[in-house]
Structure 1
Amino acid sequence: MRKLPVLVEAFAGETVGSVYRRLAAHNAVPTGELWTTIRHERPRLPLRTTPELVPRLVEQLADLPPGYFDGRRTDRLFVRCVHVAWRHSNCLTCAPLPAPVTKCRRCTSGEPVEVRTRAGAVCARHRRWHYAGADRDLAHSAEFFRAERCLTGRLWERGIGPNTGELELATTLIRASDHRREDESHRAALARHFPEAVRLVALLTEPWAERFLANTNVGPIQVAALVGAAVNAVTAGTSRDVDAVRASFHADGREAVIGLDQPVQLRCGRSPGLDELGRRILTFAPRVRATLLRHTDARKPPTRRPRGSSKHEHV
């Protein structure tokens, strides 16, 4: 297809749908009408406007180079795969691009833009909180910038991004300790607890915690004890409390050592006492374990297609 008369400057990692919507707006064409034009060339496409099915056609309309929407390797979430001896890497064959996130409105001159890049919820350039389309000043919130660096650095290389589930779980766990905010939405809760949520995810995905959670002889009560202690340590905000958690939870075979004050050696089947927070966490312990161990899953190589092709473009 020929390029449209009015082009847009695509942002690095911008999604097919985002470029398509901006193209339609800049050319004063309803998105549905533009889709009808595309369907004249590809009549087997569905009636519903779904530009994600034809990324190559959108590249042509926007005068973008072929393969623009394939994404850059630097933006891919790390996974464990056979190509690097089952270590975490952003393998071009196996590593996925992250879920779309909204870009800072200051960076886009006010336009709504979605990207799939190595980014979280904070724009360091303009010092803004931009998660889910928000635009909040963070000029005096240094801890948010530290959390963003941790998320796009250490956590990204563990395969953890803003929308892979771990941050949502961490926010839920932190909210479980605050009875006054039980009805708060995830979006609002993350905006308040982002630094603590990132620290909690970082702590509970460290190798020692991974070994504890992956040990099949450790039951849900021991998991709830670990997570409850981690939540309390992170919300207290002191490195000493966090170090105490690291030193107090170990599992080896059928024995687990738990105890923030006096370490207690427990055989499989015995359980430590839980405080109120621990009892609340116990109600969704299976979700806790599955989510926090998700990044350890190995990925099988997908079926290879010719570079630049799309499984939908044959229609």
Structure 2
Amino acid sequence: MGGDLAGRMAQASARVQARLLLAIGGAEGPLAEAMAWAVEGGKGLRAFLVLESARLHGLPEETALPVAAAIEALHAYSLVHDDLPCMDDDDLRRGRPTVHRRWDEATAVLAGDALQALAFELVLSADLSSRARVDLGLSLARAAGATGMVGGQAADLAAETAPHPLTLAEIERLQARKTGALLEWSAAAGARMAGGDVRPFLAYGRALGAAFQIADDLLDAEGDAAETGKATGKDAARGKATFVALLGLEAARRRAILLAEEAVAALDAFGPEADPLREAARFAASRRK
């Protein structure tokens, strides 16, 4: 990742996390501690996409910050639940014990539930028009629910015991929901806030999301747990439906690069002001953690 992009993402992540911790401050005890633990660390890519797409539409960061915090709260909830023993059963996330290992399973479930609710509270309390808040909230519910991320997670679990390996088209559909839906929403959030055309940003987010997922598959296959901050080698052991399993390492890597360039091309109409988003797409395809 280029130094400029790395710096911008780190600064954005710090501001978003501060906003999240402020919002979590209303909770108490182990629940609040577990929620804060879940949102700390991470790349903050989804929040970065929200802030950059808002900037591209002339919106001040203070207006977009609650929306950026919302997507990180929702993403954190998904990770907390995904790590549970009944799902992927992970002990490590972002280089630290997962929430259910640091506390217990009940606290992890409740912390995830509270973070999901907090995401919608943040969106619906943003200083935006009523129409923009409704559009953001409705589209986020669809991206997160049974037709989006949660549906993708269910399909991912079902694929582990399917009688036949999934085809490439089936894997693409699964991952477009499990991983891509929230990235698409993040990329289009600025346009939704400003009442602009979401189509180029949805196309950008769709391609970026696919590239991001392939990079994730590659990291699981050949990454180092110390660098990635989570266990690796689990996809093959569990028979998960991944691009790497179907295409092989090199073909998957080439596909990720092509998808990143597809995301870049989707923003052709926006000139150099969209360069941070273009860099983010290339980062998503080649990241090491």
Question: Which protein is richer in helix relative to its size?
Answer: 2
TM-score, with structure 1 as normaliser: 0.29
Higher gyration radius (CA): 1
TM-score, normalised to structure 2's length?
Answer: 0.31
Bigger strand fraction: 1
